[in-house]
Structure 1
Amino acid sequence: MTEAGFFTRRFGAVPRAGTDAVVLVHGLGLSGRYFVPLARRLAARGAAVLVPDLPGNARSRSVAARAPDVGQLALALAHLRRRLPPAPSLLVANSVGCQVAAAFAAAHPRMVSRLVLVGPALEPGVSAWRQCGRLVLDAPREPFGLLCLAVSDYLVTGPLRCAASFRHALRDSAGAFEAHLARVRAPTLVVRGAGDPLASRAWTRRVARLVGDGRTAEIPGAAHAAHYSAPDALAALIHEFTADGPGGAA
């Protein structure tokens, strides 16, 4: 279905006033399809889950004439959130989607109840070549089904747009990303797969320290896309995280 002008999948309950919706934010050049295993598990716990293809990506490719930057994607999330009943949302983001989620949470603090950052990328100060090398290292650690899905999404989004999105993300990581994190006040859980070569343990701990209320968790046996390879483990972490105070959603 289409929400806020771009394609969005829905799982579980219908969002209603006074109850958090869960919004899952995909990474660079991808669609929300690789979040489906996690979305189904969160929906089974009673959550209303939305999984958009952000403008310029996959099934929302035609929504944007060119690859949007991080700020424009955060603005698109705000448009999506305004179409939901009045209540803050739990955001779960992966990889470069964490930069989008951080920009959104910094600009719209009242729209975010809690934040879950899975394998936050890109790490500031790491060159484009090293980032690409880390991605190559990650590929054999991921399930084959995810690699097929990712290749399909990259082809639909298009290599030129993926390259432009990568440049936007690098620019954001070199400047605005850490500033956005420092303005996040929502309770934040930073998760990494124990085998993730892109989001190092030191970097995830730094992310948790930068936000106003952060904590970390690690999933054994998972790599960069822990939400796909270990959805049950991540759903359990999210449930524990959201159950210890106001704003529980999963």
Structure 2
Amino acid sequence: MAPRGKSAALQSADVEVLGLKGRIVWAEGTPPPGSGEQTGAEPTYILVHGIGVSHRYLARLHAVLAASAPTYSLDLPGFAGTTKPGRQLSVEDYGAFIAEALTSHGIDSYVLVGHSMGAQFVIEAALQAPERARQVVLMGPVVDSRHKNVGRQSLALTLDGLLRESAGSNWIVMSDYFRCGPRWYLTELPVMMGYPTEKRLAGIKVPVLVLRGSRDNVAGPEWSLRLSRAVAQGRLVEIPGVGHVAQHMRPQAVADAIRSFVTATTQRL
């Protein structure tokens, strides 16, 4: 695979499976999904956003990972300007969508990387297709046991945006919230709050990396450590000096941590 720079243009294609519509995004130079060019000799990274947002706040991490391995981001149904489903979707519904969307595009072995509520989505995707998920990465996973009501969760997110994120990352997040719209955000918020992350994670049999910014109060240190210990092959990595959106603020450090984890755990598979 030819090296790709951080400025590589992104391309996208609509995805419709299970009666739901989303989008898959890849960098110029990455084999188009469905082309049959994935060899399986190197990891394929699948990046999944959280509630209300899109692939855009994952774009910096996407570019760094795509410089050395096939990397795809997903825009999930109801978010990022995609078609709103006619009903509330469970985390299991989103996990099934991810697994089926990847299968339908010929991507059958991959590393799942989810941020915030996206961590919940990739847990379910791995449970839906355990033979295809090689490793799972949970970045800033929710919902921390300290924030088990909407008020506390909202306060943690607000303070993170005000005190720990850049104007650029906040602009991406807020503009994506606008595209999502309050109706769908509020439809899926109770789904996120009620999902038993720790319990469902315990069913994962592949290696799991829990990754957080050292200043992330949304996914705190005790919660993140507990999640890393919920699986047999779990580990925790902290990125110094950043908050919840670590992948935007420190994409190289986050990518290095992910690649190091994948290399180390692949050797033991």
TM-score norm. by structure 1 comes to 0.91
Aligned Cα root-mean-square deviation (Å): 1.8
Q: Indicate whether 1:234 and 2:246 are aligned.
A: no
- 3-state DSSP class of the match of 1:186? coil
Q: CA deviation at 1:91?
A: 0.8
Task: Map residues 124-163 of structure 1 onto 2, 5 A cutoff.
Answer: 124=145, 126-140=148-162, 141-163=164-186
Aligned to 1:42: 65
Which residue in 2 is equivalent to 1:52? 74
Cα offset for 1:143? 1.2
Render the CA deviation track for 1:170-213: whole Å, top value 9, x for unaligned: 121xxx32221000111111111011010010000011011231
User: Matched residues in 2 for 1:16 and 1:247: separation?
Assistant: 20
Aligned length: 243
Is the CA contact 1:56–1:66 (under 8 Å) kept in the aligned structure 2?
no
Question: What one-letter code is carried by the residue in structure 2 that aligns with 1:13?
Answer: T
CA contact (8 A) 2:207 2:265 kept: no
Instruction: Tell me what 1:110 maps to.
Output: 131
Structure 1 counterpart SS, 2:138: strand
Corresponding residue SS for 1:162: helix
Displacement over 4 Å in runs of 4+? none
Tell me the alpha carbon deviations over residues 27-60 of structure 1, each in whole angstroms, 9 at most, x when there is no partner.
1011111111000000112x11111110111132
Q: 1:196 aligns with which of 216, 219, 224?
A: 216
Shift of residue 64, structure 1, vs aligned partner: 1.8
Q: Which moved more, 1:146-155 or 1:66-75?
A: 66-75
In structure 2, distance between residues paired with 1:96 and 1:86: 23
* Unmatched tracts of structure 2, length 5 or more: 1-12, 32-36
Note if contact 2:84-2:184 (Cα within 8 Å) is conserved in structure 1: no
Q: What is residue 52 of structure 2 aligned with on the other side? A: 29
**Identical positions, percent:** 30
Alignment counterpart, residue 238 of structure 2, candidates 218, 221, 224: 218
Change (3 A) 1:86 1:98: closer
Whether the 8 Å contact between 2:161 and 2:170 is mirrored in structure 1 is yes
1:197–1:224 CA distance, 2 compared to 1 (3 A): same
Q: Deviations over 1:98-127 (max 9, x none)?
A: 111111212321121011111101124622
| Equivalent residues of 1:58, 1:153 under 8 A apart | yes
Structure 1 residues 86 and 99, CA, compared in 2 at 3 Å: closer, same or farther?
Answer: closer
TM-score by length of 2: 0.85
What is the deviation of 1:65?
2.5
2:23 paired with 1:7: yes
Greater mean deviation of Cα atoms: 6-15 or 232-241: 6-15
